[in-house]
Amino acid sequence: MKTILVTGSRGLVGSAIEKLEYTQKDYYFIHLTSSICDLRNYEKTKKYFDYIKPKCIIHLAACVGGLYKNMNDKVKMFEDNILINTNVIKCAYECGVKELIACLSTCVFPDNKIVNEESLHDGPPHPSNEGYAYAKRMLEIHCRIYNEQFGTNYICIIPTNIYGPEDNYNLEDSHVLPGLIHRCYLAKKESQPFVVRGTGAPLRQFIYSMDLAKLIFIVLKLESKIGNIILSPTQEVSIKEIAEIICEKFDYHNIVFDSNFSDGQYRKTADNSKLMKLIGNFEFTDLKVGISETIDHFITYYDTLRK
């Protein structure tokens, strides 16, 4: 049985992997959180990896946030992620790990163009998230040069906007969809307008966390060295459409778009053709179904979830 270490295991994707790992009979999963080991510290990371001796790592740990955290805290987003990623890759190799899956983000891509795995470094990312984006680009380079020099199989997956249960619903630091869910919930509770920051015009692709976990398991079992791969459905939807789906679920339609706030990047369309050619058809969760399930979880666990 292969031991797999999952970093960032209490985050959105790590929680989805933990819920579905019972389906993976050939693997034994160890879940790492920041309270167990601070991955920003090389000595602590090396000591922990030496103790666990994993055969494979699913690297999900990151300092993450939504548009406004990325805009307002660029130094921390860059430095924390550079430290985390450098230590994980370096210590993984030093501990004999030959297989690793590292999670990037579509914000790493050049601004305002349809992108694929080959265009990652073809231009600067949108300035709103450059700290986080460049740190993630360095993770891709780090994995690639280890593969080239040492023959490892370090794969970078690139999911689009992830949503689902166990998300972070902080009103200032969350990603767009959980932030909208929380704002709509409070607006209805307080009989106030549901204020959506920005015009609602930007387009995004969203992937349900459970779908992403399933795709990670598929990638894990591939025998070939596939390199970088975008994990995403094809569908693009506007922030306005997302807000309206949330309103429909809450049955609350007093919605206002505040154009005084930045829209951020208008579009970052990711081409998933490599994924589709590699694995064939994959049934992504319908967006309305995924959002409905996410809101049900949010309401049920409101008092204890991250917010």
Longest dimension (CA), the chain: 60
Do 82 and 138 touch, CB atoms closer than 8 A? yes
Could you tell me the sign of the dihedral formed by the alpha carbons of 285, 289, 293, 299, in that order?
Answer: positive
Strands 237-238 and 203-204: antiparallel
Three-point CA angle 218, 102, 39, nearest 5°: 135
In the structure encoding, which two tokens stand for residue 113, read together? 């163009």
Other C-beta atoms closer than 10 Å to the C-beta of 183 total 22
Are 135 and 85 in contact by the 8 Å Cβ rule? The answer is: yes
Q: Which residues are catalytic?
A: 132
Q: Is 114 exposed, middle or buried (0-12, 13-18, 19+ CB in 10 A)?
A: exposed
